Amino acid sequence: MRKELALTHEFVEFIPDSIVKGTLYVSMEYATVVHKCCCGCGKEVVTPLSPTDWNLTFDGKAISLHPSIGNWSFPCRSHYWIRNNTVQWAEQWSQERIAAARAFDRRAKKRYFSEGDEEARLEMGEPMPARKESWWRKWWSR
């Protein structure tokens, strides 16, 4: 298992041209986090923030991203979590597991962006509007 790495973060409007290793650049205006791959390969990792991509948590001191970051398209194929500005290494995935996760993500995005699909919104953690109580249930609960 690799050693945990400490990261810093910087809130920016625009991602800088030069990305510094070990820094998470967070653009809330463009809902994006960019950093250099934590394995040291030097590739830039872009994590879009959205209900169907990554979620960012900032507690006033540190940043966490969810879900994990799997750089399956990079030669390094690194896989890690960013929790409280710390890199925590995760297990490697098989090609079959990567393909299954990509297919799941595609289906979830399609469902989420289809109008009125409550199941997809619930799956992504979105709150649903309260349903009106039927007149029958109101009467029965008296």
Domain assignment of residue 137, yes or no: no
- For the CA atoms of 82, 46, 16, 13, the dihedral, rounded to the nearest 10 degrees, stands at -80
pLDDT single digits (tens) 54-79: 999 999 999 999 999 999 999 999 99
Domain assignment of residue 48, yes or no: yes
pLDDT above 90 covers what percent of the chain? 71
Are residues 14 and 72 part of one domain? yes
Please state the rounded mean pLDDT for residues 111-139.
60
**Which residue, 9, 11, 32, 35, is CA-closest to 21?**
35
Phi-psi region of 113 (alpha: psi -120 to 50; beta: other; left: phi over 0): alpha
pLDDT band at 112 (very low <50, low <70, confident <90, very high): confident
**Which residue, 50, 58, 72, is CA-closest to 125?**
50
Are residues 37 and 47 part of one domain? yes
Is residue 124 over pLDDT 80? no
Are residues 107 and 78 part of one domain? no
Choose the weakest-confidence range: 25-29, 109-113, 134-138: 134-138
pTM of the model: 0.77
Are residues 114 and 87 part of one domain? no
